[in-house]
Amino acid sequence: MSLRGFHIVFITVCTLLCAFLILWAFVLAPEPSTLATVLGYTGIVGILLMPLYGFYFYRKAVKLNL
């Protein structure tokens, strides 16, 4: 697997983990707490920024022929 392929898979897995973090924090947490809320908002930031970073990396990797 190339560096570009591994990076794209890694970004996809990180995005899915952020989605699970949001699900756990706001739906599945045993009891609402400040930590769960902070983790949920962190997951929201991650799920928004990871695909943007993936798009940026893919464009740069194609330009550099990685």
Domain spans in the chain, listed from the N-terminal domain onward: 3-64
The tokens describing 50, both together, are 């990871």
pLDDT for the residue 3: 86
CA nearest 66: which of 19, 17, 5, 4? Answer: 4
Instruction: Take residue 37 and report the two structure tokens written for it.
Output: 């809320």
Instruction: Give the pLDDT score at 24.
Output: 96
CA distance 42 to 36: 10
Ramachandran quadrant class, 31 (left: phi over 0; alpha: psi -120 to 50; beta: rest): beta
Q: For residue 61, which of 24, 1, 7 has the smallest C-alpha distance?
A: 7
One digit per residue, the tens of pLDDT, for the chain of length 66 reads 788 899 999 999 999 999 999 999 999 988 889 999 999 999 999 999 999 999 999 999 989 887
This prediction's pTM: 0.84
